[in-house]
Structures are given as structure tokens and as C-alpha cells.
Amino acid sequence: MDQRIVMGKHPAGEAVSPRAFRTALGTFPTGVAIVTFQTDEGPHGMTVNSLVSLSLDPPLVGISVDRRARSAELIERASRFAVNVASAGQRDLALRFATNGLHGEELFAGVDWTPGPTGAPIIAGCLAVVDCDLHSILPTGDHLLYLGEARVLYLGPPHLSPVVFHRSTFTGLRAPYGDHPFLHLPPSSPDWAMS
């Protein structure tokens, strides 16, 4: 382990290493989302934990993508994307979308999804979905920050709990609602959508 982390200090004049930076910020728990979009090759997606609400008026979200990732170019070409906030039961799905080797129909095989109003795949069973038009792209070091303007919001059942990313591991939280029965409304149901 990097001594600068163990000691809790950073020696003057030394640059922070990417490994030390990732380790330190990995102590901050984040949610997990699957960002989806439609391409000429079919549906595509990736798992992110760098999701932020940026503005209420207009309603903007931001996702950070490594500029070397194939998805970086694909999102820009698609010009629309959906942020599917993963529920605890979607841990394996989030891991699947974090895998670089799968693309298009192969990536979405067996996934319950429907095209949203922007055409981006909306995955069933999520805590929430933000269906966006690409607003702008900001270069941020070795990543690009994609800003999406929300067009449609979907909310899943309130009893679901999130997948949480902490110290490079997917984990979860217990929802404060207990184990109440619920009626699961699919993404195509008008009762599930808010706009």
C-alpha cells in the first residue's frame, strides 16, 4: 500500500499517484448505474459509479467516462442516453455491463428492457431511470464528463434498495421500508413514468 495513504499525509512536492487517489476516493460509497444508449450496432451500455445531479433548471445529470473507453465515442454519436440506477437485485447485471468484452445484442441478451422516449434502453427493475438528451461534453483530465438533460424520469418501487460501490466492491444497503409486498410496474406502464 502507498505510504502516503497509510500515514494520512502527502509529502510536500510529490504528485498524488492514480492508485493512491483511487484508493482514497474508494472509501466514499457511491451508487451504481447502468448507462445505456442506442447505436448503429444496436443497444450498448456500461456501468458507472460516477453519476452526479448537476442542475435542477434545466435538469442535468453528469456521468464520467474514461476517454479511452469505446463507450465514450458511442455516447457522443448516439447523442442520447439513459441512466438506469441499479437496484440490489441487479448486482450481477451491473457487473455484466462493467465487462469490456460484451457489446450490442450480446450484452443485452436476457435483459428485460424497452426503448425509452429517446430510444435509449430502459432496464426493468431499476430504482430510477433518467432518460436524457446529450447536453454537452466537458474534458476532465483522462475522462470526459457527459452532461445529459433529463427528458423523462421513471421511478421504480420504493421498497428496492441500491447497489453500492465501496472500496472497489459492489455491496448494498437495507431499504428502510422493510419487506412489504409491492406491485412491480414495468417501464412501459404509464403509472411508472413521471415527466
Which pLDDT belongs to residue 139?
Answer: 96
Which pLDDT belongs to residue 10?
Answer: 56
Strand-pair category, 80-85 with 59-66: unpaired
Instruction: Say how many domains are in the chain.
Output: 1
Range in 74-88, 117-131, 152-166 with the lowest mean pLDDT? 152-166
The mean of the pLDDT values for the chain is: 82
Q: Rounding to the nearest 10 degrees, give the CA dihedral for residues 146, 149, 154, 159.
A: 60
Which pLDDT belongs to residue 190?
Answer: 44
CATH number at residue 107: 2.30.110.10
Our measurement of the distance from residue 107's CA atom to the centroid of its chain's CA atoms, rounded to an integer in Å, reads 16
pLDDT in tens, 69-114: 889 999 999 999 999 999 999 999 999 998 867 777 889 999 999 9
In a domain, 193, yes or no: no
CA–CA dist 156, 172 (Å, integer): 17
**What percent of the chain clears pLDDT 70, i.e. is strictly above it?**
82
In a domain, 139, yes or no: yes
In a domain, 55, yes or no: yes
Across the range 6-26, mean pLDDT stands at 71
